[in-house]
Structure 1
Amino acid sequence: MRKPLIAGNWKMNGSKELIETFGRAFAEIDLPSPVDVVIHPPFPYLDAARQAFVKTPVGLGAQTLNPLHSGARTGEVSGQMLNEFGVDYVLVGHSERRQLYHESDEQVHERVMAALEAGIKPILCVGETLEERDAGRSEEVVLRQVGYVMARLDSAQRQQMTIAYEPVWAIGTGRTASPAQAQQMMAAIRRYQSGFDRELADALRLLYGGSMNASNAKELLAQQDIDGGLIGGASLKVDDFIAICQSAG
């Protein structure tokens, strides 16, 4: 049985005060035992989050990384640096990185490899735009993004991966793929993984992102192939995020 994972992506939001609020709240509650939780704050807050979460079940995530170990890359952060701060997971290929910073499938793969080399588990983000969905290309686009990375990994590396499906048209818009739409894509991703390794495909955790919130989480998480969520706006509201985590139990 796959253990659910609820990941909060704070993007360029948050504060030290919010981190402390989350730390206190998660130290005082009992989460369902079969649930992993991780929060991805902005880079400047990683150490504050590490300290605030030390007595909680919350793991630490980063939002991206540079493929290089070091060098003349002003403003960038390497996997080795993240490792020193106790980062457990890192988002790779988020749609905002693909769209705003023009990260290609090749560059996403390079970041996945850098994370794996640093001992950090990548969460590979994939998803289609509204135009691609309306053109009937959703599955083609998503499986291309998945396949470019997964086909270039060996079996041991694939076992460290998590995949987050985020339809771009549902991120921050308030629109959400229906549970049936989300399940359909998750099932397609899992079938695709069976081409590499059926046992791995059955164990691979697939997260749904794209306006998951406290109201719709339970129905989405009840789908057969949805093993958790990558939460955006709702992850900045401690009560809502806790409610989503509890829905996964």
Structure 2
Amino acid sequence: MRKKIVAGNWKMNLTLAQGEQLINDILQAGLKLGEGQEVVIATPFPYLMKAKSLVKNYPGFYVAAQNCYTEKSGAFTGEVSAEMLQSVGVDYVILGHSERREYFQEGNDMLAKKIDQVLANGLKPIFCCGEPLLVREAGTQNTYVAAQLEDSLFHLTAEQLKQVVIAYEPIWAIGTGLTASAAQAQDMHAFIRSQIASKYGREAALHLTILYGGSAKPGNAEELFACPDVDGGLIGGASLVAKDFVAIVEKLA
């Protein structure tokens, strides 16, 4: 049975007071999570400890960081290590988000190092992959995503892979108001699963959680989550509005 996850990525938004209110509003909404269902809240670094303290008594709720550095420690002013995140109770770390790739030039080799740091510290990576619009228009999205998977994940052992969650982000559908159709999402999720199967075997692929990360909203979440290979969502803008985020979580099958 695969985990079903809705993760809210706040990005660089909200003050501490606003974030605390948002989490409390979500927790007080009376969500009933089923077996194997999780809610993950990815806050900016300064809010992680507060977020963890708020959700710690709520089964099925977890906290994620939005990034970490490639090294364990050292003279890297302004960076945050996976070991630091582990020490404050973080559960997941988002890696390779399209914004990190675009604005901070994070490449596949760098992300492989970050994956290793996260796993070495007992945390779970949410590894983002996906194609830009030009690649989608050229029809080469499968080749593009396959390279991301191979370069950043395929050095892992089968046991390590069990700790990884993949989030497919059609970059052309992030912050643009565009959304991949349910058929487009399902096709790519099935392709990703096939790539995992070819490397690690069918059982590993069947147990891998793959999230959709392209402008999911309350209005389209049910259709997306009904796809057989879509196991939830990595939610951006809608995660900043409690009622919208709760409505999306309620669409988990």
| TM-score normalised by L of structure 1 | 0.97
Q: Find the partner of 2:135 among 132, 138, 142.
A: 132
Deviations 1:91-114 (A, max 9, x none): 111111111111111001000000
- Counterpart position of 2:182: 179
- Counterpart position of 2:202: 198
- Counterpart position of 1:51: 53
The 3-state SS of whatever aligns with 1:8 is strand
2:234 aligned with 1:233: no
Q: Which 5+ residue runs of structure 2 have no aligned equivalent?
A: none
**Counterpart Cα distance in 2 of 1:150 and 1:110:** 10
Equivalent residue letter for 2:207: A
2:37 aligned with 1:24: no
Do the aligned residues in 2 keep the contact of 1:19 with 1:48 (CA within 8 Å)? Answer: no
Equivalent residue letter for 1:48: K
Matches within 5 A, 1:34-73: 34=35, 35-56=37-58, 57-73=60-76
Do the aligned residues in 2 keep the contact of 1:194 with 1:200 (CA within 8 Å)? Answer: yes
Alpha-carbon shift at residue 23 of structure 1 (Å): 3.3
Alpha-carbon shift at residue 47 of structure 1 (Å): 1.2
**Counterpart Cα distance in 1 of 2:10 and 2:89:** 18
2:34 aligned with 1:33: yes
2:215 aligned with 1:211: yes
Q: Find the partner of 1:144 among 147, 159, 165.
A: 147
- Counterpart position of 1:114: 117
Alpha-carbon shift at residue 74 of structure 1 (Å): 1.1
**Counterpart Cα distance in 1 of 2:24 and 2:130:** 34
**Counterpart Cα distance in 2 of 1:24 and 1:124:** 27
The 3-state SS of whatever aligns with 2:84 is helix
Stretch of structure 1 that moved more, 45-54 or 58-67: 45-54
**Counterpart Cα distance in 1 of 2:119 and 2:229:** 24
Deviations 1:180-238 (A, max 9, x none): 00000000011111112211000000000010011110000000000010000000001
Alpha-carbon shift at residue 164 of structure 1 (Å): 0.3
Do the aligned residues in 2 keep the contact of 1:162 with 1:205 (CA within 8 Å)? Answer: yes
The 3-state SS of whatever aligns with 2:219 is coil
Identity %: 45
**Counterpart Cα distance in 2 of 1:79 and 1:27:** 27
The 3-state SS of whatever aligns with 1:38 is strand
**Counterpart Cα distance in 1 of 2:133 and 2:23:** 37
Equivalent residue letter for 2:233: G
Cα RMSD (Å): 1.1
2:11 aligned with 1:8: no
Report the count of equivalent residues: 249
Equivalent residue letter for 1:11: K
**Counterpart Cα distance in 1 of 2:46 and 2:238:** 21
**Counterpart Cα distance in 1 of 2:57 and 2:241:** 20
Q: Which 5+ residue runs of structure 1 have no aligned equivalent?
A: none
